[in-house]
Amino acid sequence: MIKIILVIAFLANSCWALYPSSGSVVELTPSNFDKLVIKGDEIWIVEFFAPWCGHCQSLVPEYTKAANALKGVVRVGAVDVDNHKELGGRYGVQGFPTIKIFGANKNKPEDYNGGRTAKDLVEAGLKAARSKVKASLDGGSSGSSSDSGDDDVIELTDSNFDKLVLKSDDLWLVEFFAPWCGHCKNLAPHWSKAARELKGKVKLGALDATVHQAKAAKYGVKGYPTIKFFAPGAKDSPVDFDGGRTSSDIVNWALDKLAENIPAPELVQIVNDQSFRDACEDKPLCVVAVLPHILDCQSECRNSYIQMLTNMGEKFKKKMWGWVWSEAGSQPELEAAVDIGGFGYPAMAVVSPKKLKYSILRGAFSKDGIYEFLRDLSYGKGNTAPVKGESLPKMNTIEAWDGKDGVLPEEEDIDLSDVDLDEKEEL
């Protein structure tokens, strides 16, 4: 009796199988799919089928013929979604048969919507192969990019996540996505644009949670897309992104987090050319304050200006500007290049190192006066002029201020004993 039941069960399973295990169509399952299809170098045509589906049964001879013709060029596989529903769900399979081509970008397979003949399938496979070869000849990569191929969006994996995100001092927004997810596809262009606009401020990454499941599981990802913010000092406790899905929404949300997490910029004294360039050269704008000579404004006076400028740097810190100061007369070429000092000291100019333009503070050198001046510049307002000399001037090398009051140089005593009478009268 037991033997009869086993035979019936075997025959039933055989009836459900559409492709023989010894044929050219490779049986794909959750245990071999990623290894063969995703991580392999070959182009794959994959059919997602149900054994009871009439259209799937009708496709078998043509699909098998295509697999035989493409042997050694393009691999052909099939997934029984009845037995492996997780693979069907992973790729959004809703009807049978569904055919997808896993080409140069394995994380974003193309839907095959062509004819159901062997010839049509072969042509689609060869087209995908030609595209991969052309990309290689053109210097492209056959590897995948997780988000529209944009270099500004960094592809994250289980293997590089810790090094790039957790062990860095950078701020990160990470999208956990699925290639078949419609909302993820809609987000992609906005994510790429936001990444470009936030470059140098906040890094944007993308991780295919269907492939790199360890990290997705660690951070409790259950839906797509899931976006999390990783801040310095709190990488083990990422914050859920709760903003809008347009590029401007993403940028504004990220800049708010940037303002919360970055310290106020350092106010640097210009003591040589390198100190100026380190503080300003790669910044969109650089605030240059020229303070009175120490003999005209002693330590208490100078420190009050420095404190005011430091507080102002806190208010505008998310602009990522450079902030420097020098003593009146110590950097004459800089003062001449931005026409500073004509109204006395203290004075201020804001310089664009890349555009080689500057704007002068015409109002009061006070908290309100400086704030209004910088606020207008942040909105793109204010008059600008080209830096004189059409390049950033070279800075003098001087000693850094020691924080003390200035002291007048001692007058030399004159010994009159050896001076004759006429010379004494002149003196």
- The residues carrying an active-site annotation are 53, 56, 181, 184
Contacts of 212 (CB under 8 A, 6+ apart): 156, 157, 158, 161
Nearest to 184 by CA among 72, 319, 60, 92: 92
DSSP assigned state of 122: H
Beta bridge partners of 288: 324, 349
**Alpha carbon separation from 332 to 281, 300, 319 (Å, rounded):** 19, 24, 28
- Angle between helix axes 299-315 and 367-378 (nearest 10 degrees) is 30
Q: Which segments of 85-170 are extended strands (E)? A: 98-102, 110-111, 153-156
**DSSP of 32-43:** THIIIIISSSS-
HSE at residue 318, side-chain half, CA atoms within 13 A, is 16
- Check: CB of residue 292 under 8 Å from CB of residue 346: yes
DSSP assigned state of 172: E
Give the pair of three-digit tokens for residue 397.
């090398």
CA–CA dist 22, 424 (Å, integer): 121
Question: How many degrees, rounded to 5, is the angle at CA 189 between CA 183 and CA 191?
Answer: 80
**Sequence letter at residue 194:** A
Instruction: Report H helices in 17-84.
Output: 33, 54-69
Give the pair of three-digit tokens for residue 375.
């606020």
Cis peptide before 353 (omega within 30 of 0): no
Beta bridge partners of 360: 349
Pairing status of strand 172-177 against strand 203-208: parallel
- Check: CB of residue 120 under 8 Å from CB of residue 135: no
**Alpha carbon separation from 415 to 39, 233, 394, 409 (Å, rounded):** 92, 67, 44, 19
Nearest to 60 by CA among 21, 97, 100, 14: 97
Helix/strand/coil for 358? strand
